[in-house]
Amino acid sequence: MTTAERVLDSSVPEAAEAAPEARILDHEYDGIREYDNPLPGWWSSIFIGSIVFAGFYALYFHVVGWGASPQDNYQAALASYDSKRDVRERAELANINEAYLVQQVADYKVLERGNKVFAERCASCHGAAANGLIGPNLTDDYQRNGSTRLDIYRTVRGGVPGTAMLAWGDQMAPADVVAATSFVITLRGTNVRGRPPEGVPVGPFAK
């Protein structure tokens, strides 16, 4: 055997030559035969465990009905929240009256916060200048729902059923509802030209 033949012969791994024939599958393609490499035990265990878990999960949540799905939990929480809506509203209204709103209107920081809330939440319907778009003009001397400061608070907090006016008390913190109300109160009588008057004439607020 020449030196070149010995080099070529030594480049073939002995392990490949001595591979157990039992691990080679019967089929062959273009002279290529495939080894039978079984899956690792840990992988097979996880796979089988996943199937068993899926079966128990389906029984627990969808067949027997013992467990509550995330959707069930959400519906239960929503029902609980709605059931306590009147309680929350009475508790908030017990602390808010005309005198309290007069006090808030005199607070510059409250008005500054209310202006920001109005720009973020209300301007899309009432206009950036509060002169009305979808919603009414808030700068004239007319009011669609009530006539007092507290009526404005109730409208902002509870919305108006059947209209585009949302119940912002369900979406904003109580302090933001008060701030937005206080800002809107300051708009009455500024008479920015815009949407025609709606509701009934109310004039200036009572002192």
Topology of the domain comprising 85-201: Cytochrome Bc1 Complex; Chain D, domain 2 (1.10.760)
Residue with tokens 């709606």: 198
**Both structure tokens of 103:** 């006090």
77-94: per-residue pLDDT in tens? Answer: 888 877 777 777 777 777
CA separation, residue 13 to residues 8, 10, 18, 24, 34 (Å): 11, 7, 9, 17, 17
126-160: per-residue pLDDT in tens? Answer: 999 999 999 999 999 999 999 999 999 999 999 99
Give the integer Cα–Cα distance in Å for 17 and 24.
12
Residue with tokens 């109730």: 154
Q: Backbone phi, then psi, for 26, in 5-degree steps?
A: -75, -30
Say what the pTM is.
0.61
What residue spans in the chain does CATH classification 1.10.760.10 cover?
85-201
Q: How many CA atoms lie within 13 A of 121 on its CB side?
A: 24
Q: Backbone phi, then psi, for 17, in 5-degree steps?
A: -70, -30
Interior CA angle at 14 toward 13 and 20, to 5°? Answer: 115
Q: By the 8 A CB rule, do 142 and 197 touch?
A: yes
* Whole-number average pLDDT of the chain: 85
**Both structure tokens of 49:** 């465990």
Give the integer Cα–Cα distance in Å for 50 and 203.
71
39-92: per-residue pLDDT in tens? Answer: 889 999 999 999 999 999 888 888 887 877 788 888 888 888 777 777 777 777
Q: By the 8 A CB rule, do 130 and 121 touch?
A: no
